[in-house]
């Protein structure tokens, strides 16, 4: 997807702390109630997609930066069908650990998180190499889904790996879907940053917040697993 978006600044002081998306006012979608004590992560806020949709329908573009329960959530939507979602999650087990796992041993993720990832198989090529094709079975909204991805970019200096979805359930909703994972370090803290760039097949399709939430849960489960190792 040949589009350029501004990159979020990973500084909580510059971000919106938290908003209540559960009961948005669609007549005044820009007025959202502030919550001083959020009780759940963004995945548990079903109104988030609705308020984003309402804002997107009334503005040329939508740019939100949210900091929810130590997770950065960055939303950039164009008028139309294109969007970008970013979640940056602190990874206490070391960013290198996650990057190496995702690049060279992604099949181990299904062993670590069998309740989220049911399987990961190499379909073509070799793990960790551009052009290789990987097939995933995962649980989303209580159902088993499939995704076939090709590795289209690796940048070892940035600890970045990018996948393009070429088959599977996501392509029933999105014409184009690219996932990128890279590691950033801020003030000595490693962040696993997951980025989705996509084009919806039509305006009735929701933005992929549930898929992003799944990725966040996988990252945190991998962190917990590695922190528990002796």
| Dist. CA 92–CA 49, nearest whole Å | 29
Can you give the residue ranges of every domain in the chain?
33-227
Using the structure block, give the residue that is written with the tokens 């503005």: 59
Entry pTM: 0.76
Beta bridge partners of 159: none
- pLDDT score recorded for residue 189: 86
Low-confidence ranges of the chain (pLDDT < 50): 1-10, 12-47, 50-51, 56, 58
Beta bridge partners of 150: 133, 164
**What digits encode the pLDDT tens for the residues 209-220?**
889 889 989 999
For domain 33-227, the CATH class is alpha beta
Rg of the chain on CA atoms, in Å? 17
**What digits encode the pLDDT tens for the residues 138-162?**
999 899 999 999 999 999 999 999 9
**CA angle, 64 as apex, 82 and 216 as ends, to 5°?**
80
- pLDDT score recorded for residue 35: 30
> Strands (DSSP E) along 117-221, which ranges?
117-124, 133-140, 143-155, 160-168, 174-186, 189-200
Our measurement of the distance from residue 89's CA atom to the centroid of its chain's CA atoms, rounded to an integer in Å, reads 10
């Amino acid at each position: 997807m040949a589009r350029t978006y501004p990159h979020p600044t990973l500084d909580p002081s510059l971000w919106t702390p938290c908003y209540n998306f559960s009961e948005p006012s669609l007549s005044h979608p820009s007025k959202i109630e502030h919550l001083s004590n959020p009780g759940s992560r963004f995945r548990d806020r079903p109104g988030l997609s609705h308020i984003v949709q309402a804002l997107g329908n009334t503005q040329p573009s939508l740019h939100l930066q949210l900091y929810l329960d130590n997770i950065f959530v960055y939303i950039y939507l164009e008028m139309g069908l294109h969007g970008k979602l970013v979640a940056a999650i602190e990874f206490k087990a070391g960013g290198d650990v996650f990057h190496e796992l995702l690049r060279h041993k992604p099949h181990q993720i299904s062993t670590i998180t069998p309740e989220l990832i049911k399987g990961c198989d190499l379909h073509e090529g070799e793990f960790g190499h551009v052009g290789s094709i990987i097939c995933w079975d995962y649980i989303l909204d209580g159902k088993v889904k499939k995704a076939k991805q090709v590795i289209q970019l690796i940048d070892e200096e940035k600890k970045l790996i990018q996948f393009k979805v070429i088959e599977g359930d996501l392509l029933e909703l999105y014409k184009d879907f690219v996932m990128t994972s890279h590691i950033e370090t801020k003030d000595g803290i490693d962040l696993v940053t997951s980025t989705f760039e996509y084009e919806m097949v039509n305006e009735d399709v929701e933005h992929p917040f549930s898929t992003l939430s799944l990725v966040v849960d996988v990252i945190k489960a991998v962190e917990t697993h590695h922190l528990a190792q002796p």
